[in-house]
Each structure stands twice: as structure tokens, then as C-alpha cells.
Structure 1
Amino acid sequence: MMKKNLHPIDRIARGVIGIVIIGFLLLNNGYLQEPILEILLATFGVLNLISLISGWCPVYHLAGISSAKNK
């Protein structure tokens, strides 16, 4: 089971970043000419949105970091 390791402010920041990146990719009108870069950005945006929803970050988990308040 995944224990939440993100503080609510951290989750909000990730949500904003994810929405901005996905929005940019949907509305870029060919500004990015490199499909690999678009795929990497989309992956990064989606992973940020998943972290927003779940409250868990795999990178924080691997590094042993937690910004969540310990009760």
C-alpha cells in the first residue's frame, strides 16, 4: 500500500504544473516540432496529475523524502 508522501501544497503545485503542461501540449499549434519531446512532456504532465490525485510520488518514495505532515 502506498503511504501518502506529499503535502497538500505540493499536490496543488503538481496539479497546476500538470494542467499547464497538458494544456500547452494540446494548444501548441505545432510550436514543438519534436514528437519525442511532446511525449516526454505529456508523460511528465500526466505523472504530476497522478501524484495530485494519489498524494504519492514514486521519486520521493525512492529517495526516502516526505513532504506530508506526520501525525
Structure 2
Amino acid sequence: MKVIVDQDKCVGSGQCVLTAERVFDQREEDGIVELLDPEPPAEAAADVRLAASLCPALAIRIEDATA
């Protein structure tokens, strides 16, 4: 799994941080998403997918690894 964020789309709602705090954080000055782990471990996949689905700005994109 590869996680990509679009900081230009982010509105700073913080849903991603609340859902997957080891993968996402927010900048202190404006609350915009910061990606901490672009290739999180498999055990974080469900939380990352939930975070992406909860993002009101659709600023999180997930690319699955192909076999």
C-alpha cells in the first residue's frame, strides 16, 4: 500500500489523524495534513482506508501494490 496526500486539497479537518495517527499528522500553523508514513505496514491498512474515506476533501489517495 502506498499513501499519497494532496496538501492543496486538504481542509484541515483532522479526521485522518484521529483515524490513523501513526500515518498522518497535521501542520501546527494551519492544520494541513502531513504524511508520516507513505508505505504503512499491513496492520495499518484498514485505518488508512477509513481515513481516506472520511476525508471531506478527498485529499488522501491509496495505491495498492500489484502482485
Tell me which interval the TM-score lies in, with the shorter structure as reference length: under 0.3
Greater relative contact order (CA < 8 Å, ≥ 6 in sequence): 1
Greater percentage in strand: 2
Greater percentage in helix: 1
Q: TM-score, normalised by structure 1?
A: 0.24
